[in-house]
Amino acid sequence: MLDPRAADELPGDTDPALRAEIAHTTAGAIVHQARALEDPEVVERLVRLVEQEGLDVVAALWADSPPGTLPGALWRLYVLREWVRRDPVTLAERYRSGAGVAQVPGVVAGVAMPPGPDDVREVADAVLSGVFAGDLAVALERGAAFCRVLATGAAFDADDVDEHDPGGALRLTRGAASLVRTAEELESAADLWRRNRLD
């Protein structure tokens, strides 16, 4: 048995309260500074933050943040952009199949029809750019609409493969449900931002 003093000296995880404070401080500083500077080069660097620093670094800052917070909303948008960056062909196909059925105005999501891989990449970049150089609530709503359309496309994909690949269909269905949840979280964050309560 370690005595209490020796146990306190063992290296461990960062205090959750300190992690939350770091998440809020960094997210607030990045968003508010970028918006104040109005510099397209700064916005471009922030959009490409994951490419420059790595997803692990961004995850360490914000992944544990609740969805109703600025760092939580940023984390969701960065993950969405990274997913689009890594698999634009599949996501363009999912967007195309879900666009006519999803309950969102196409203009909100902002993807050209029919979308190609470059189109979905451009929208993911534009959504994230809007956080730093536009109406943040609108950027969050565009991200939510994009997620809803992709969720609908994923549900169609699940139906298509269910008979010959039930495990794959289940994964796609769970992914669609996760996208709907992310859309709801982004919509809620947009509402909080409009009420000056997204910290």
Residue 10 within a domain: no
> pTM here?
0.88
Tally Cβ neighbours within 10 Å of residue 57: 12
Query: Looking at the 3D structure of the chain, how many domains does it have?
Result: 1
Residues 6+ apart with CB under 8 A from 119: 92, 111, 112
Residue 111 within a domain: yes
pLDDT of 110 reads 61
Residues of the chain with pLDDT under 50: 1-2, 7, 10
pLDDT, one tens digit per residue, over 160-199 is: 999 999 999 999 999 999 999 999 999 999 999 999 999 8
Residue 199 within a domain: no
Residues 6+ apart with CB under 8 A from 137: 190, 191, 193, 194
Dist CA 55 CA 63 (whole Å): 10
Tally Cβ neighbours within 10 Å of residue 2: 9
**Contact criterion met (CB below 8 Å) for 92 and 117:** yes
pLDDT of 108 reads 58
Dist CA 152 CA 100 (whole Å): 9
pLDDT of 19 reads 85
- By residue range, what is the domain housing residue 128? 16-194
29-49 as b/e, with b when 16 or more CB fall inside 10 Å?
ebbeebeeeeeeebbeebbeb
Dist CA 172 CA 151 (whole Å): 9
Torsion of Cα atoms, 116 then 118 then 121 then 127, to 10°: -90
State the burial class of residue 172 (Cβ atoms within 10 Å of its Cβ: 0-12, 13-18, 19+).
Answer: buried
Residue 7 within a domain: no
Residue 71 within a domain: yes
Identify the three-state secondary structure at position 54.
coil
Residue 171 within a domain: yes
Residue 125 within a domain: yes
pLDDT of 69 reads 97
Residue 1 within a domain: no
Per DSSP (E only), the strands in 49-114 are none
Q: Give, rounded to a whole angstrom, the gap between the first and last alpha carbons of the chain.
A: 42
